[in-house]
Amino acid sequence: MRLVELVLGCAVQCEKRQTYIERLMNDLDKSSQANMMILTQQIMAKGEQSLLDRSESDILDTTGVSDDIDGDISLNQTDADAQDAVRRLQARVDELERGNEELQKELLAEQDRSKGLLDDLAAANESKQKLQECYEQLLEKQSASARKDNQQSRTDTANLEITLEEREATIADLQHKMKEMLSLSQEKLRLQDELQLRESEVSSLSAEVNRLRSYKDKLEQAGDLKKRLLEKEQECETLLEQVVELEQTIETCKKAVDDRDRMVESSKDKVCLLQRQLEELKSSEPVPSDRLEEKFAQLEVEHQDAVMQLRAARSELERVKAERDMALHADGPEDGVTASVSLSGGDAELRRAIARLSMENRQLRAGIMTGDLSGGGEAAKREAEVKVCRESIQRLEQDKANLQDELATLRAHAGVKANLSGQLEVEMHRLRSEHSDMMASNERLREEIARHVEEKNALVSSKKTLSDENMLLERKIFEAEKLTWEAEQRARAMEDKMQSGAGERFYQNCDDLLLAENQQLKADLSEKRRLLARKDEELAETKRMKNELQLAAADSSQAAVLQQQIKEMQLREEDQAKATRRKIAAQEREQALMVSLMYDLAMELHRVKMHQRGSL
């Protein structure tokens, strides 16, 4: 610091001090330049103080000489001393003349130096005028750029208004679509009512389907019964075989009857013979009945065999009847009733046939016992009974065929109902798919409406932002004009104070003001940088939250919606960050411009002040 003071002192006391000071100032930074200005002011103040002290000492020296002269004059009142005093005065006058000549030379030199200082002051005024012109040109450029930005913002605002009108038209279209959606919702409600009706019909049809399924189960049971019926048919075939065997036995019985008829004829002959013999025996002796007892015993055995065969056939028919009643009861009450009626009818006919056979057997026994020869009529009756049995078997086969036809019709009815239920299920599926498509279209329309509303809000916010920026630009233009006016006022005040001779304090105040403004600008710049750092921290925090949301979206079921929200957040954050950076960059440029202007103004003031001090 002492070295700097020494250099500045040498530069201030030198004749080319202005050049040396400018060279020193150009080689330093702004903070060092400010310190250099302060030191220069202090050194110049010290130089001025020393100059004043030297002038005062010269004045005191001149006043001392005059006192001596007055003393000499007062002391030397005599003639003798007068000559000495005259000589001394003459010598003193010569010295004063020589001093006067030297002072005149110095005055001429000072006048020449003052002319140089005036020339320097004129050059400083010219440089000040040039600086003012440059400042005015810079302000004009800034105002032109601000006007251009304002015009651009106005055009952007107009474009945004046009876009807003388009969005409003789109919103009106969407509202129209919403009305259509309301009509579609009403149509949907109507379709839902129809769907409910269809569902009620479907419920009834489902009940019908359940009934058909029960029928199907019964048909399956009927299939089992069919199998059993086939088994019974096989049993019937066996019974038919037994009937054939019975017919064969009947044929044998017929043959036996023929034999018996022949035997009856022979017996008649024998009876006649025996009657004659009986008459002879009555007349002579009683006849033994051993042969008749043997025949009666033989006929009794044959009767017992026939009764056993009839009982076996009856038990078999009853078993078949019971199984068929069970099968027909499983198929349905009406079929069971008809089958039971048919079976009961066949059973009654068999019973009647058995009763007739037993009666014929008894009659035969009675005829044999009484010797009645009516065997031919009984054989015809037996043939009629066999014919009735065959007719009953044919009726059973016809009932079987009818049951099979009814089973086929039930299966066809079940197939028709199954087809109808399938068609109803297809129709229900179609209606449900249409309902789901309508719901999906409603959701898409809601999402589109929400997106358009968000775009409208974004446009409104951007319009508001542009209007705020426009106001900010106008405010900046006003502030620039205000600064220009203040600079002009300061320049005028500087000129007035320079002309009035009270510029030193004004320069000092200007320096203090410039330093204070520089410090304030530095503080504002540091504050804005701190705000920018905080914005960066907030942006980092937002990115961290975004990453957490992305991780949550990877595990969530609504990943697509969360990804869309994250993208929107990223876009908004990027827009905000860009706008913030643009504002901060513009503010930094303005601050740099203001600092440079203030520095140039301070340097110019310093030059003017130095010229003024040199002239003084």
Q: Which domains does the chain have, with CATH numbers?
A: 501-616 (1.10.287)
Q: CA separation (Å) from 323 to 74, 154, 223, 421? A: 188, 104, 15, 36
Residue appearing with tokens 């004129």: 122
Residues 6+ apart with CB under 8 A from 373: 261, 264, 265, 267, 268, 367
Straight-line distance from the first to the last Cα atom of the chain, in angstroms, rounded to the nearest whole number: 28
Structure tokens at 240: 């038919």
- Amino acid making up residue 423: Q
Q: What are the Cα distances from residue 472, in Å, to 147, 265, 302, 477, 484?
A: 12, 154, 140, 9, 18
1 or 536: whose pLDDT is higher?
Answer: 536
Nearest to 423 by CA among 217, 196, 205, 215: 205
Q: Which range is least confidently modeled, 60-69, 74-83, 495-504, 536-545? A: 60-69
Which pLDDT score is estimated for 616? 56
Q: How far is CA 549 from the centre of its chain?
A: 13
The pLDDT score that the predictor gives to residue 150 is 72
Q: Is the pLDDT of residue 119 over 70?
A: yes
Question: 4: Cβ–Cβ under 8 A, 6 or more apart, which residues?
Answer: 36, 39
- Sign of the four-CA dihedral 494, 500, 503, 505: negative
Positive/negative CA dihedral, 181, 185, 187, 191 = positive
* Residue 182, both tokens: 């309301």
Q: Is the pLDDT of residue 193 over 70?
A: yes
pLDDT tens string 206-258: 676 677 667 667 667 766 766 776 776 677 677 667 666 766 766 766 676 56
What are the tens digits of pLDDT across the range 22-55?
666 666 666 666 666 676 667 666 655 655 555 5
- Of 508, 610, 600, nearest to 127 by C-alpha is 600
Distance CA 58, CA 55 (A): 5
Read off the amino acid at residue 363: Q
Residue of 390, 402, 386, 350 whose CA lies nearest to 229? 402
Q: What is the mean pLDDT of residues 501-505?
A: 51
Find out whether 525 and 588 touch, Cβ atoms under 8 Å: yes
pLDDT at 579: 74
- The pLDDT confidence band at residue 69, using thresholds 50, 70 and 90, is very low
Mean pLDDT within 197-201: 72
CA–CA gap between residue 179 and residue 445 (Å, rounded): 12
Give the tokens for residue 374: 């009516």
Asked whether residue 107 carries a pLDDT value surpassing 70, the answer given is: yes
Per-residue pLDDT averaged across 401-417, rounded?
64
pLDDT class of 169 with cuts at 50, 70, 90: confident
- Residue 453's CB is within 10 A of a number of other CB atoms, namely 13
For residue 572, pLDDT beyond 70: yes
Query: Looking at residue 335, what is its pLDDT?
Result: 41
Encode pLDDT of 123-158 as tens digits: 767 777 777 777 677 767 777 777 787 777 777 777
Q: Which range, 78-87, 277-286, 288-297, 298-307, has the best average confidence (pLDDT)?
A: 78-87
Average pLDDT, the chain: 64
Q: Does 3 have pLDDT greater than 60?
A: no
Helix (H) or strand (E) holding 1: none
pLDDT tens for each residue of 344-357: 444 455 556 555 65
Q: How far apart are CA 245 and CA 263, in angstroms?
A: 25
Quote the CA–CA distance of 602 and 387 in Å, as a whole number: 151
Residue 381, pLDDT > 60, answer no
User: Among the listed ranges 411-420, 550-559, 568-577, which one has the minimum average pLDDT value?
Assistant: 550-559
**Is residue 307 pLDDT above 50, yes or no?**
yes
